[in-house]
Structure 1
């Protein structure tokens, strides 16, 4: 039987990031299928469609959104925090022919980058470290504009090596 998970986990870091982003974008609206709408934030994946895309051209669509994806982690030694790579995958929607939808994506990226410059600690325990990277996709995906922010987050290391502790 597996031991109980204790201490801070990468999943807790991911959930804290989702909560932080919901608060950051709470009062902001972006271009939607039927006008301005709030940004949706998803954990790990966009929900699977349950119909025949009936909502794709309505404000019930999942876009614009941020997908908070927990992609990898690393513990360098027993004293350092776990480093968790969170990828914030951003997708905005803009049906206009002037193709300015990338501006919403860019503005979301800038809001995230500036927020964590001012306030790197989130969820009262996790910290966004460096480097912090972002990218805008130049793929031609009619009406959908994608970007990504890669954040390396420090998860507190509160666990002790029980074998060593028993010897002390």
Structure 2
């Protein structure tokens, strides 16, 4: 599995995890979560619909320490965006629930498609500034994927 294949598998898995839930849009509808790889789509006109609610599955970094292990470690950041225009400003609760659902899924079963494994390093954060009615959060996760093995007969 490559980092891009990991990203695609995570997009599919996040959609599956959140398929039973609907979130508010700026138009007042309730819709399933949008899940995007790396960034939200570029809007070409002002008339295009706001992509919120969303989760962005962003590849952050990766490493193969000294090339000696049989796996690469890939860091992924999930960025969550929620719209909630209620006066009680509780949209952060939806963000927190999305983070919790992702955390529970990979803590209970770290395997992703039998090709990647969550390593247990989970960090999360909520926005500190007020962007009402938009609410944001993120979580950082690390996965192991298979590494390319050196085939040099002289080593």
Report the TM-score when normalising by structure 1: 0.85
- The match for 1:46 is 40
| 2:74 equivalent to 1:84 | yes
SS in 1 for 2:80: strand
- CA deviation digits over 1:100-119, x for unaligned, max 9? 11111011011111111111
23-32 vs 110-119, greater mean Cα deviation: 23-32
d(CA) in 2 for partners of 1:160 and 1:154?
15
Contact preservation (8 Å) 2:70, 2:149: no
1:87: Cα distance to partner? 0.2
Report the TM-score when normalising by structure 2: 0.92
Contact preservation (8 Å) 1:73, 1:82: yes
SS in 2 for 1:15: helix
| 2:57 equivalent to 1:71 | no
| 2:128 equivalent to 1:138 | yes
Of the two, which has the highest radius of gyration? 1
1:131: Cα distance to partner? 1.7
- The match for 1:61 is 50
* The one of 115, 122, 128 aligned to 2:118: 128
d(CA) in 2 for partners of 1:123 and 1:92?
28
| 2:147 equivalent to 1:153 | no
Moved over 2 A (4+): 77-80
d(CA) in 2 for partners of 1:46 and 1:123?
25
What is the aligned-residue RMSD (CA, Å)? 1.5
- The match for 1:16 is 9
Contact preservation (8 Å) 1:25, 1:39: yes
d(CA) in 2 for partners of 1:64 and 1:129?
28
1:32: Cα distance to partner? 2.1
